[in-house]
C-alpha cells in the first residue's frame, strides 16, 4: 500500500492530517503536480482525472479523491471516529464537510488556480474574473463558518472531524492564494488556533 501525492498540495494534506489523527503510517510516493505530467503514462492510468492524492492498495487497485481515501481508512480503523458516530452524528459530519468543501475550500482553491500565475499551465483557461469573484465567496463562507463556530467548538459538534480538517486546510491555503488570514472572524480564529495546535496539523 502506498499514497502518491504532492506533499505541499492541499488535498494530500487533508489525507495526511486524517491519517495522523488515526495514527496510521502509509508509505508516500512524491509526484510534483507543478512539474510532473500527471496526464500521461502510468499515473494517468491510475487516475484519469490527473489529480493527487491516489491510494494504491496492496492488490493494485487505486482509490482517488480525498474523502474516498479517508473513508477507506475510517472503515479499516474506525477509532477515533472522524466521520461521526451514529446516524445523526455521521449525517452532521457529512453535512458540514460538504458545506465546507463545496463552499470555502473550493472558493479558496478557485482564487489560487485562476489568479496565481504559476497555475496557468494547470488551469486552462485561467479566468481571472472567476478568481476575483471567488474572493467574495470566501468571505461569505467564512461568515457562515464563523456563525457556526460561535455555537459549537468544532464544525460538526463537540468532536473533531474530517469537516475540521477540510476547513483547516482551506484556511491555511488562503496564504498561498494571497488572501491573507481571516482576521475579522473571531470564532474562526479561536477555532483555528486550537486545531492548529493538534500534532496532526503538522502532517
Based on the domain organization, do 100 and 120 belong to the same domain? yes
One domain for residues 115 and 198: yes
33 — pLDDT class (breaks 50, 70, 90) = confident
Predicted confidence (pLDDT) at residue 36 exceeds the cutoff of 90: no
pLDDT at 48: 94
CATH number, residue 143: 1.20.1050.10
CA distances from 102 to 97, 105, 108, 129, 164 (A): 8, 6, 10, 19, 14
Provide the number of structural domains found in the chain: 2
Q: Residue holding cell 493527487?
A: 52
Question: So what's the pLDDT on residue 78?
Answer: 98
Q: Are residues 27 and 54 in the same domain?
A: yes
What contacts 35, CB < 8 A, 6 or more positions away?
A: none
E strand or H helix that includes residue 191:
helix 186-196
Is residue 81 included in any domain, yes or no? no
What integer pLDDT is reported at residue 1 of this predicted model? 97
> Do 186 and 95 reside in the same domain of the chain?
yes
- 5 pairs with which residues across the strands? 30
Q: What is the per-residue pLDDT for 34? A: 84
Residue-level pLDDT at 122: 87
The average confidence (pLDDT) of the chain is 96
Mind listing the pLDDT tens digit for each residue in 39-65? 888 999 999 999 999 999 999 999 999
Q: What is the pLDDT of residue 95?
A: 98
Question: Among positive and negative, which fits the CA dihedral 54, 57, 58, 61?
Answer: negative
Helix (H, G, I), strand (E, B) or coil at 63: strand
How many Å is the Cα radius of gyration of the chain? Answer: 17
Pairwise CA distance, residues 71 & 40, whole Å: 27
Q: Looking at the structure, do residues 71 and 95 belong to the same domain, yes or no?
A: no
Please tell me what DSSP assigns to residue 24.
-
Label residue 27 by pLDDT band (50, 70, 90): very high
pLDDT at 9: 95
The per-residue pLDDT for range 125-167, each reduced to its tens digit, is 999 999 999 999 999 999 999 999 999 999 999 999 999 999 9
Do residues 12 and 192 touch, judged by C-beta distance below 8 A?
no
In this prediction the pTM is 0.96
Residues 98 and 173 in one domain: yes
Compute the average pLDDT of residues 183-194.
Answer: 96
How far apart, in Å, do the first and last CA atoms of the chain sit? 19
Among the ranges given (33-37, 62-66, 85-89, 131-135), the one the predictor scored with the smallest mean pLDDT? 33-37
Is it the case that residue 193 has pLDDT exceeding 90?
yes
Domain check: are 189 and 90 in the same one? Answer: yes
β-pairing, 2-5 with 28-30? Answer: parallel
- Domain of residue 45, residue span: 2-76
Q: Are residues 54 and 145 in the same domain?
A: no
Taking only the tens place, the pLDDT of each residue in 96-132 is 999 999 999 999 999 999 999 989 888 999 999 999 9
Long-range contacts of 27-31 (CB under 8 A, 24+ apart): 27/1, 27/2, 27/3, 28/2, 28/3, 28/4, 29/2, 29/3, 29/4, 29/5, 30/4, 30/5, 30/6, 31/4, 31/5, 31/6
CATH number at 55 reads: 3.40.30.10
Domain boundary among 76, 99, 115: 76
Contact 140, 146 (CB under 8 A): no
Amino acid at each position: 500500500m502506498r499514497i502518491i501525492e504532492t506533499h505541499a498540495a492541499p488535498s494530500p494534506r487533508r489525507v495526511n492530517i486524517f491519517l495522523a489523527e488515526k495514527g496510521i503510517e502509509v508509505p508516500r510516493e512524491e509526484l510534483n503536480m507543478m512539474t510532473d505530467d500527471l496526464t500521461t503514462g502510468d499515473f494517468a492510468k491510475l487516475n484519469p482525472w490527473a489529480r493527487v492524492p491516489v491510494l494504491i492498495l496492496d492488490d493494485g487497485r487505486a482509490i482517488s479523491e480525498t474523502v474516498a481515501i479517508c473513508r477507506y481508512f475510517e472503515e479499516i480503523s474506525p477509532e477515533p471516529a472522524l466521520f461521526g458516530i451514529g446516524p445523526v452524528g455521521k449525517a452532521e459530519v457529512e453535512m458540514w464537510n460538504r458545506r465546507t468543501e463545496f463552499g470555502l475550500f473550493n472558493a479558496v482553491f478557485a482564487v489560487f488556480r485562476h489568479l496565481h500565475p504559476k497555475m496557468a499551465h494547470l488551469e486552462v483557461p485561467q479566468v481571472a474574473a472567476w478568481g476575483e469573484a471567488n474572493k467574495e465567496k470566501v468571505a461569505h463562507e467564512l461568515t457562515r463558518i464563523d456563525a457556526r463556530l460561535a455555537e459549537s467548538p468544532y464544525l460538526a459538534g463537540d468532536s473533531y472531524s474530517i469537516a475540521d480538517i477540510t476547513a483547516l486546510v482551506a484556511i491555511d491555503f488562503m496564504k498561498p492564494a494571497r488572501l491573507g488570514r481571516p482576521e475579522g472572524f473571531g470564532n474562526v480564529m479561536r477555532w483555528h488556533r486550537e486545531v492548529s495546535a493538534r500534532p496532526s496539523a503538522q502532517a
